[in-house]
Chain A
Amino acid sequence: MVIRKWHPGKLIILWAWGGVAVALALTSFLSSPVRDAPAQHLVELVFVLLALFALSGITWHWLGGRESAGE
């Protein structure tokens, strides 16, 4: 039987750092009016979205895998 296994330690480290970076960018995006600096806000929002996609991709690709139950 093949089941999905995860690496919990690596997951915690990756998402902790990633979460801090995303939270900082999101706080900056939400804390001032968009019309004051539209380009800066756009960069922050794009960074938030890309960072979440990247974290999900890394997690799915490298931090988990299908392994047989006997291994």
Chain B
Amino acid sequence: MKKLYVAFSACAFLILSFTQMVRAWQAEVEVVSRTGKIPKNFKTYSLFLVCNPQWLAPEKSEGLYELYKQFENFGRTIGDDNAAVWFWKTQQRAHDPTLAKNVDVERSVRFCQTWKLKPSEGPHVVVTTVYPDESSLSSGLPKGSAVYGLGNMSPTEISGLLTKLTDELIEKGRVESPAATAAAPLALWVRLLDATQRTINSFGCSWTFKIEAGPVNADLHACKAE
């Protein structure tokens, strides 16, 4: 009977340890190997896609690793319900001069091609609530996906963007598409206020003030001539 208790305790301990390991693994970036599949059952999927050839040069390895570390921190802070996915060919090593070769570009390129992402604007971060099924990529970029091109951003700007995405994922559980946000109609009172501002501005440019007092002449224009 005592042996049974010991065996039961050992099983319970193993199960508990395993679930904790899985939770810890889920909390960080999902490093997807060449043949590995993107894990399922997450509320959102943030994919890091490297399609820009400039980022694959050996001298970019250091920058790429910094980018990976930033993305890893992002993956650790977005919670267990959200997955951050980075495609490597094999397990990466820090400060490896051949690190760029280790990025699974071919896989990223498949996403970039079918989702019509411009490589020169990359690398891209795509946040979607729909599972990015690689077997049915041809159906296009899922609706409501948010796409961010990091190509022209400084490390500080990228860090700021990832912080903003973390805020949105934690607060709302999703990320608003930048295009959708830009196209969102403004409230009536905001449009009225905008019109008021434009009217005052145009009125402000239509007058000039002249003083002619003998030897002193002043000519005041409201707006600078184009």
Interface of A is mostly: helix
In chain B, what residue has the closest Cβ to A38?
B190
Return the contact of A30 from the options B186, B189, B201 (Cβ within 8 A). Answer: B201
Q: Least Cβ distance of A48 to chain B in Å?
A: 10
- Interface status of A14 (Cβ within 8 A of chain B): no
Number of B residues, CB within 8 Å of A: 11
Residue-wise, chain A 20-48 has the 8 Å CB interface mask toward B (1 for contact) of: 00000010011001110010011001000
Q: Which chain B residues (175-226) contact chain A, with CB distance < 8 Å?
A: 186-187, 189-190, 193-194, 196-197, 200-201, 204
Q: Least Cβ distance of B205 to chain A in Å?
A: 11
- B197→A29 contact, CB < 8 A: yes
Count contacts between A and B, CB distance < 8 Å. Answer: 25
- B190→A34 contact, CB < 8 A: yes
In Å, the complex CA distance between A9 and B204 comes to: 29
Q: Least Cβ distance of B153 to chain A in Å?
A: 21
In Å, the complex CA distance between A41 and B195 comes to: 12
In Å, the complex CA distance between A41 and B190 comes to: 9
In Å, the complex CA distance between A42 and B189 comes to: 9
In Å, the complex CA distance between A26 and B196 comes to: 12
Q: Least Cβ distance of A57 to chain B in Å?
A: 23
Q: 6 A-B pairs, CB-CB below 8 angstroms?
A: A29-B200, A30-B197, A34-B194, A35-B186, A38-B189, A45-B193
Which of A's residues lie within 8 Å of B, judged by CB?
A: 26, 29-30, 33-35, 38, 41-42, 45
